[in-house]
């Protein structure tokens, strides 16, 4: 099993290209199931989660080809042979549940295993099921599978009013609604850029959708969708992660392809902490304003608020900030599992339920640490970049689910980082 070895202390200077968004691509790929014509995705990230979704779609009979080194995905669902999403694939990744809506909408039935993924909270699929039921589907949960069947004549438009914001449930409901008869109104919908990107792709395929970027989506169902070519939006979480690298290490890094509208709330917190974020013709340039950063308080919220997927990385920065910071996690329970590992490096963190209080220290110390989930893994790498001595981050298979070529990207800016056998 691989590990990442980091030798801390070096400033970072240079450029880091930001990949297409993992979470957007994992949503766009199942959209191929909605049409018998080809869907081509450009700017795709090269990640293990993308390979898992590829395997899932291929198990259903879809064709998926990775072109141009994996940057382009050519998908076709003209000959889907199965509506059964098997446990052996689905257990690896929660995004697998996103085949439910497309299968149900186009084929009238679906059998999807309950999903797996990072252990950062319950993240139930109840809202996904309730959305399908609102559209007229009969749902039966048994033997670890969701068994869904559309009524005769297909799904019917409806009002879907989510009790709380859910990105995945919004995506599933949206893909199911585009082929439903009549009008569907999705209330309390997620507003994330990945939702907006999905709407733009579906619209290219012929869907009739209004309201992207707001809390209400209105869908007028159509009888069929066509093929399309669509570029995957920039990964705002990878962007935010690499924006933190010069903030924690010093130096100046330009994140190529970065957009302020994707990370506005995050950039505002960096500004409060004493980190400069400057828009350029090619992306975002980041550097400290004046030496050591200052403590700030953070509350995770649905977009456009501070992203939960940047909470662990932000904690790594605040471990060396002047003063006391409070981080409140409101999206997922049990998402401070990285805190004990940071404490092994000398961080002062006190966790009570969904709140972590971080008292900044002058310097972290390198230590062997273990990644507990995807975002925790990269937070430990960031901490290692700022620490004295060597940090060995184990269980980096989590990292490979969401970050491509981390060693290469950081190494090109002067970091001492390498992948080693553990």
395: Cβ contacts below 8 Å, ≥ 6 apart: 1, 3, 370, 371, 372, 377
pLDDT tens digits along 385-419? 999 999 999 998 889 888 999 999 999 999 999 99
Task: Tell whether residue 417 is among the known ligand binding residues.
Answer: no
pLDDT tops 70 at residue 122: no
pLDDT tens digits along 64-107? 999 999 999 999 999 999 999 999 998 888 889 999 999 999 99
Secondary structure of residue 200 in the 3-state scheme? helix
CA 181 – CA 141 distance, rounded (Å): 25
pLDDT tops 90 at residue 422: no
Task: Tell whether residue 88 is among the known ligand binding residues.
Answer: no
Copy the structure tokens of residue 233.
């939006």
Q: At what angle do helices 311-318 and 374-386 cross, to 10 degrees?
A: 20
* Phi–psi pair at 205, nearest 5 degrees: -85, -5
* Bridge pairing between strands 348-352 and 159-161: unpaired
pLDDT tops 90 at residue 141: no
Active site residues: 118
CA 98 – CA 170 distance, rounded (Å): 10
b/e map of 296-332 (b: 16 or more CB within 10 Å)?
bebbbebbbbbbbbbbbbbbbbbbbbeeebebebbbb
Task: Tell whether residue 127 is among the known ligand binding residues.
Answer: yes
CA 239 – CA 242 distance, rounded (Å): 5
CA 232 – CA 392 distance, rounded (Å): 33
Q: What pLDDT is recorded for position 125?
A: 86
Copy the structure tokens of residue 48.
């293990």
Count of beta carbons in the 10 Å neighbourhood of residue 214: 11
The sign of the CA dihedral 342, 346, 348, 351 is positive
Taking the CA of residue 279 as centre, how many other CA atoms within 13 Å lie in the half-sphere pointing to its CB? 7
Task: Tell whether residue 317 is among the known ligand binding residues.
Answer: no
Single pTM value for the model: 0.93
Q: Is 193:24 a contact under the CB 8 Å cutoff?
A: yes
Question: What are the sequence ranges of the domains in the chain?
Answer: 2-19+234-421, 22-231
pLDDT tens digits along 1-38? 799 999 999 999 999 999 999 999 999 999 999 999 99
Copy the structure tokens of residue 24.
């957007």
Class of the 2-19+234-421 domain? Answer: alpha beta
Q: Is 321:294 a contact under the CB 8 Å cutoff?
A: yes
Query: One fold for both 2-19+234-421 and 22-231?
Result: yes
Farthest-apart Cα atoms in the chain, separation: 66
Taking residues 110-123, report their average pLDDT.
63
Task: Tell whether residue 125 is among the known ligand binding residues.
Answer: yes
203: exposed, middle or buried (Cβ count in 10 Å: 0-12, 13-18, 19+) = middle
Q: What pLDDT is recorded for position 124?
A: 65
Q: Is 213:191 a contact under the CB 8 Å cutoff?
A: yes
Give the domain 22-231 fold: UDP-n-acetylglucosamine1-carboxyvinyl-transferase; Chain (3.65.10)
Q: Is 296:266 a contact under the CB 8 Å cutoff?
A: no
């Amino acid at each position: 099993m691989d590990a990442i070895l980091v030798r801390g202390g070096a400033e970072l200077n240079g450029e880091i290209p930001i990949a297409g968004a993992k979470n957007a691509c994992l949503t766009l790929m199942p959209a191929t199931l909605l049409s018998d014509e080809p869907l081509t995705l450009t700017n795709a990230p090269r990640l293990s989660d993308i390979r898992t979704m590829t395997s899932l779609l291929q198990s259903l009979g879809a064709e998926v080809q990775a072109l141009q080194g994996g940057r382009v995905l050519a998908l076709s669902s003209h000959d889907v042979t199965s509506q059964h999403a098997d446990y052996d694939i689905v257990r690896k990744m929660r995004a697998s549940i996103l085949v439910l809506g497309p299968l149900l909408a186009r084929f009238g039935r679906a059998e999807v295993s309950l999903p797996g993924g990072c252990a950062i909270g319950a993240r139930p699929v109840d809202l996904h099921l309730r959305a399908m039921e609102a559209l007229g589907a009969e749902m039966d949960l048994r033997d670890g599978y969701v068994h869904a069947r559309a009524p005769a004549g297909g799904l019917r438009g409806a009002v879907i009013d989510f009790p709380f914001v859910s990105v995945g449930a919004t995506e599933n409901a949206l893909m199911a609604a585009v082929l439903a008869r009549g009008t569907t109104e999705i209330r309390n919908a997620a507003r994330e850029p990945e939702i907006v990107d999905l709407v733009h792709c579906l619209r290219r395929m012929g869907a009739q959708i209004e309201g992207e970027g707001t809390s209400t989506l209105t869908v007028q169902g159509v009888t069929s969708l066509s093929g399309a070519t669509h570029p995957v939006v920039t990964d705002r979480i990878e962007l935010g992660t690499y924006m933190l690298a010069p903030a924690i290490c010093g130096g100046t890094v330009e994140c190529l392809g970065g957009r302020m509208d994707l990370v506005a709330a995050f950039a505002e917190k960096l500004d409060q902490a004493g980190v400069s974020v400057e828009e350029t013709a090619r992306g975002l340039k980041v550097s400290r304003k004046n030496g050591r950063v200052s403590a700030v308080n953070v509350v995770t919220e649905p977009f456009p608020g501070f992203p939960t997927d940047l909470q662990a990385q932000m904690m790594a920065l605040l471990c060396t900030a002047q003063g006391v910071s409070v981080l409140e996690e409101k999206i997922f329970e049990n998402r401070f599992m990285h805190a004990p590992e940071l404490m092994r490096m000398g961080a002062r963190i006190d966790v009570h339920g969904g709140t972590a209080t971080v008292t900044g220290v002058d310097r972290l110390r390198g230590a062997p640490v273990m990644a507990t989930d995807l975002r925790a893994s990269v937070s430990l790498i960031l901490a290692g970049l700022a620490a004295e001595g060597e940090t060995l981050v184990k269980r980096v298979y989590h990292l490979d689910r969401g970050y491509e070529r981390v060693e290469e990207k950081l190494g090109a800016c002067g970091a001492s980082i390498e992948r080693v056998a553990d």
